Chains A and B, each alone.
Chain A
Amino acid sequence: MSADQSPKIVIVDESPIRAAILEEGLREAGFTQVVHISEMQSLLARIYAVDPDIILIDLENPSRDVLEAMFQVSRAVKRPIAMFVDQSDSASIQASVEAGVSAYIVDGLKKERIKPILDLCVSRFNAFAKLQEELERTKSQLEDRKIIERAKGILMKVKGLTEDEAYVLLRSTAMREKKKIGEIAQSIITASEMLK
């Protein structure tokens, strides 16, 4: 790799969405040579064929251990991995592990070119995790709404309340018990099923 060329980056990730988010970020930052590998079969051979300078892999991927073999000199490895990230830079390691991504730097890449890639990686991984969290929250909110509707129905039928009164009763009980309204609603459903 000459100095003016963009380093070759391989993304090993079975999640196509996360890989796309990361790839887009890297391209925007001017890293034009990005290859995504989603197939884990013969992973080393696939990486060998691309001959990258940096390999990024998500930590949910069991194949991470396969990459560790690249530290060893063998016929399967064209250029051995020189390092994981800088030995002295424990903050970088911590940030990437917490974000759920790991970077392997192949011998020959200049140190100062690594950090921006790693930083970008960490921020994109964190962004993806946040996205997923929001999705989960929306899902559970929807789920809660359904449960509250059912609990209101039960209260209206059993206690002869209007819809508004049923909701007020649920809410005031939740406040008194210091619980979420969804939890109270769930216990009403459970109780009514037991009493059937």
Chain B
Amino acid sequence: MTAPLRIGFIPLVDAAALIIAVDKGFAAAEGLEVELVREVSWSNVRDKLNIGLFDAAHLLAPVAIASSLGLGHVKVPIAAPFNLGINGNAITVSPALHAALMEEIDGDRFDPMVTAKALAKVVAKRRKLGAEPLTFGMTFPFSTHNYQLRFWMAAAGVDPDEDVRLVVLPPPYMVDSLANGHVDAFCVGAPWNSIAVDLGIGHILHFVSDILDRAAEKVLAVRQVWADKHPDVVARLVRAAVKGAEFIENPANLIEAAQILAQPERIGVDAEVIQRTLTGRLKISPDGTFRESGRYLLVGREEAGRPDPVQAAWLYAQMVRWGQTALTPEGVKTAMAVFRPDLYDAALGRRPPEQAPAAFGAFAGPVFDPDNIRGHLEAFEVGRWRT
């Protein structure tokens, strides 16, 4: 056995591969002794990883990149040898906003361009009436949720910094905030969207997979220096996570996996709610309407576990688009270097796949090219980027 590892996580379904790797004994089979530490905020996870109180962590992909760039906090280079999840978020709106959107909707209500245009009309109407701007909750300034909400609404000309308010809310507070009218909508991971629907206070407007077909969400993060020092432990950790992801993706294990994840010291919600997320069959409306998507959350299938540096570049491009950092060639390089498919391949003892990973499949804008972020950003009307 190697030295015991402390690994931080936030109770969300996309920590599944990590939790299963530990609780099903895949980590132990790799000779790893792991203590999973449940945390309450992304800031805590980031800080404890950065100063070495954690050896590894379940981390928002953009936080890993921001940490390597020194944005918003101390600069600590991070390496992500495993991708814990692709997609998995949803946008939930209050019944009132849902009704207002449906009144304006002109076309397929699951088409994000149609809903974004409806949102633009609702925003314009409210402005005319002198009503307060709509407020959207998301989880962190450097979060996929922040960028996904912005990407969606900006496609129809809604400026996320001018026309609406975007506020950070810890995931466990999202549902309450929607219920008491503090926010009109939110973008968050599982299980919180389902919980809002079950309580009858929210409608799931979009799975984020409607907006982006394939978006890196959480990563297994370690410090770059730590990865350099312990390549063998990193490889074992990756193999354990891969086995955890495989276990989850096997439909025969669905009930057992959901039960393990539902434990109070893990995610701590009803196993049935977790099952919905894992199968991608979600109740989207309090009236009991269900919607199913094979792309709701990808834990291991379709090469989801292999980190894709192009995804990191896309996240960096969002930071640039919304003015969190200036566009520089070094910045792109640093961001892409966070995602480490080489460590993933080495752990599994295989050669890089010949086929390039599947693209984002964004519903708006041109195909993303990491070598021409400037050109990509110029194609969007709304944004506040600078070089």
Q: Which of B166-174, B225-233, B266-274 lies at the interface?
A: B166-174
A42 to B51, alpha carbons, bound, how many Å? 30
A93–B47 touching, CB < 8 Å: yes
A-contacting residues, B139-179, CB 8 Å: 139-141, 161, 165, 167-173
B323 at the interface (CB under 8 A from A): yes
Is A168's beta carbon under 8 Å from chain B? no
- Give Cα A90–Cα B40 distance, bound, in whole angstroms: 22
Interface-facing stretch out of B69-77, B78-86, B103-111, B300-308: B69-77
Pair A61/B40 contact, Cβ less than 8 Å:
yes
A41 interfacial contact with B, CB 8 Å = yes
Please tell me which one of the listed residues B53, B75, B168 contacts residue A68 in the complex, with CB atoms under 8 A apart.
Answer: B168
Which residues of chain A in 53-81 are interfacial with respect to chain B, using CB atoms and an 8 Å cutoff?
59-69, 71-76
- Please determine whether B43 and A64 come into contact, CB atoms closer than 8 angstroms: yes
Q: Is the CB of B72 within 8 A of A68?
A: yes
B44 in the interface (beta carbon within 8 A): yes
Residues of A within 8 A of B374 (CB): none
- Segment touching B, from A1-9, A94-102, A186-194: A94-102
Evaluate whether A41 and B182 lie within 8 angstroms (CB atoms) in the complex, with A87-B75, A102-B43 already known. yes
Residues of A22-66 at the interface with B, using a CB-CB cut-off of 8 Å, are 40-42, 44, 59-66
A20 to B163, CA, bound (A): 41
B50 proximity list for chain A (CB < 8 A):
93
Chain B residues packing against A (C-beta within 8 Å)? 40-44, 47-48, 50-51, 53, 70, 72-75, 139-141, 161, 165, 167-173, 180, 182, 323-324
Bound complex: CA of A44 vs CA of B73, how far in Å?
Answer: 19
Given A44-B167, A102-B47 in contact, is the A64-B74 Cβ separation under 8 Å?
A: no
Can you report 19 A-B residue pairs in the complex whose CB atoms are below 8 A from each other?
A40-B173, A59-B44, A61-B40, A61-B41, A62-B170, A62-B171, A63-B170, A65-B43, A65-B139, A66-B168, A68-B42, A68-B72, A69-B141, A69-B167, A74-B161, A90-B74, A93-B50, A93-B51, A97-B47
Given known A62-B170, A62-B172, A90-B51, contact A71–B72 (CB-CB < 8 A): yes
* CB-contact partner of A60 in B40, B53, B74, under 8 A: B40
* Chain A contacts for B161, CB-based, 8 A: 74
Task: Collect the chain A residues with CB atoms within 8 Å of residue B74's CB.
Answer: 84, 87, 90, 93
Return the chain A residue nearest B176 by Cβ. A41
Please list the residues of chain A having a beta carbon within 8 angstroms of any beta carbon in chain B: 40-42, 44, 59-69, 71-76, 84, 87, 90, 93-94, 97-98, 102
Chain A residues within an 8 Å CB radius of B72: 68, 71
Tell me, rounded to whole Å, the shortest Cβ–Cβ distance linking B8 to chain A.
12
**List of 7 A-B pairs having minimum Cβ-Cβ separation, nearest first:** A62-B170, A69-B168, A64-B41, A62-B40, A65-B41, A71-B72, A64-B43
Cα A155 to Cα B144 with chains together (Å): 63
Given contact pairs A84-B74, A87-B70, A93-B74, a sample of 6 additional A-B residue pairs in the complex whose CB atoms are under 8 Å apart: A44-B167, A62-B41, A63-B173, A76-B167, A93-B47, A93-B51
Given contacts A69-B167, A71-B72, A97-B51, contact A64 B44 (CB under 8 A): yes
| B182 and A42 form a contact (CB under 8 A) | yes
- The smallest beta-carbon distance between B182 and chain A, in angstroms, is 7
Task: Determine which residue in B43, B44, B53 has the highest number of CB atoms from chain A within 10 A of its CB, and name it.
Answer: B43
The residue in B73, B171, B324 that gathers the most chain A C-beta atoms within 10 A of its C-beta is B73
User: Is A65 a contact partner of B168 (Cβ separation < 8 A)?
Assistant: yes
A160 to chain B, nearest CB (A): 45
Q: How far is the CB of A80 from chain B (nearest CB, A)?
A: 11
Closest Cβ of chain B to A70, distance in Å, is 9
Q: Is the CB of A98 within 8 A of B41?
A: no
Q: CA–CA, A62 to B139, complex, Å?
A: 11
Give A42 to B167 CA distance when docked, in angstroms: 10
Contacts of A72 in B (CB 8 A): 141, 324
A90, B171: Cα distance in complex, Å: 29
CA distance A56 to B53 in the complex (A): 21
Q: What A residues does B139 contact at CB under 8 A?
A: 65
Which chain A residues border B173 with CB–CB below 8 Å? 40, 62-63
The interface centre, meaning the residue of B140, B161, B167 with most chain A CB atoms within 10 A of its CB, is B167
Q: How far is the CB of B101 from chain A (nearest CB, A)?
A: 24
B95 vs chain A, min Cβ distance (A): 21
CA distance A102 to B74 in the complex (A): 13
Task: Give the docked Cα–Cα distance between A73 and B40 (Å).
Answer: 25
Give the complex CA separation of A75 and B162 in angstroms: 9
- Chain B: minimal CB distance from A100 (Å): 10
Assembly CA distance A82 to B257 (angstroms): 44
* Distance of A189 Cα from B93 Cα, bound (Å): 55
Contact between chains at A66 and B51 (CB < 8 Å): no
Chain B residues within an 8 Å CB radius of A97:
44, 47-48, 51, 53
CB B2 to nearest CB in A, in angstroms, measures 24
